[in-house]
Amino acid sequence: MLAGTTTAKTPAPINAMTIDVEDYFHTLALSGAVSRTDWHRLPSRVEMNTDRLLELFEQQNVKATFFILGWVAERFPNLVHRIAAGGHEIGCYGYHHESAHDQLPATFREETRRAKFLLEDLTGQSVVGYRAVNCSVTRTSLWVLDVLVELGFKWDASIYPIYHDQYGLPETPSEPYTIITRSGRSLFEFPFTTTHFMGLQVPVSGGGSFRQMPYPLFRYLFRAAGQSGNTPRVFYLHPWEIDPEQPHFSGLSLISRLRHYRHLKPCFKQFKRLLDDFHFTTLSQSLTGHRWATTYTNLDGSLVQLT
């Protein structure tokens, strides 16, 4: 079972607020300008930006799920302590900021195990939720799900049911479902939120789509995504997305510059509006009343629905 306490019926689902804790120089968009060997030389801003989010959540009485990169946790253990002390849920984001489909299974297993155990040592809590960097559970990396259950994870929040140049499993459900892995053990999947707009399946979970859209349009689409039933929507944000003062790197492609730097300045104000307009809690708490009616299994290259 996912963590949480069963409550009485509510008029609407409570949405999941998730934060992917990474620094600005970890992102894929900047990988062409920043080498992993240079990370330790760059001025870190992850602690400052995450603390700003923690302060806002305290003011708004919001609990969130923080997927924390092991690299960050090892260098800023007090930040992990502050997140846990605030009553927020701790999830694993791997150790180095590397897409799952770019790793060998043995490397992925070791890096994920290392990050999970580190977070558990720091918090004294079991860490049972996982999110892959860059939504990187795709057709070529469905083996990740087998590794996760081996390591003791109970749920995953990595799959984006859209077409995208870097990720996505467009044929998969947009509502939470159960995956029976090849070992026979189950894993709950909470996919990123999408909705239909002008004949297309569009992403409305947050991150880049949240910054690129005018807020009234995002609010409309995010609300529309929850009107088909009682399924909670999931929102995600990175701490660097509220930091327009972060260093800027040259030599990036146009699309990388747009993906990383566009609309950083208004993001925090827009995020505060979102918290006023919707009710959020941790991912586990949001799924307390969800009916896990759909089941899939991960075969090579696809998720297949079980009858």
The more confidently predicted of residues 242 and 164 is 242
pLDDT tens-digit series, residues 47-78 = 999 999 999 999 999 999 999 999 999 999 99
Can you tell me the distance from the alpha carbon of 229 to that of 226, in angstroms, rounded to the nearest whole number? Answer: 6
> Do the Cβ atoms of 128 and 157 come closer than 8 Å?
no
**Among candidates 264, 203, 222, which has minimal Cα distance to 239?**
264
Can you tell me the distance from the alpha carbon of 217 to that of 210, in angstroms, rounded to the nearest whole number? Answer: 9
Q: What does the block give as tokens for 236?
A: 């995600």
Q: What does the block give as tokens for 13?
A: 């689902």
pLDDT tens-digit series, residues 140-165 = 889 999 999 999 999 999 998 876 66
Strands 89-92 and 186-189 turn out to be unpaired
Q: What is the pLDDT of residue 8?
A: 47
Domain boundaries, the chain: 15-305
Q: What is the mean pLDDT of residues 178-205?
A: 88
> Do the Cβ atoms of 15 and 280 come closer than 8 Å?
yes
CATH topology for the 15-305 domain: TIM Barrel (3.20.20)
Per the DSSP assignment, residues forming a β-bridge with 202 are 195
Q: Give the helix ranges, DSSP H, for 69-104.
A: 70-75, 77-85
Can you tell me the distance from the alpha carbon of 169 to that of 117, in angstroms, rounded to the nearest whole number? Answer: 29
CA distances from 305 to 147, 157, 196, 201 (A): 20, 18, 22, 20
Q: What is the mean pLDDT of residues 276-288?
A: 94
Q: What is the pLDDT of residue 163?
A: 62
pLDDT at 171 over 90: no
Q: What angle do CA 53, 168, 287 make, to 5 degrees?
A: 55
The HSE-up count of residue 13 (CA atoms within 13 Å, CB side) is: 26
Q: Is the pTM of this model over 0.85?
A: yes
pLDDT tens-digit series, residues 283-304 = 999 988 777 777 888 776 678 8
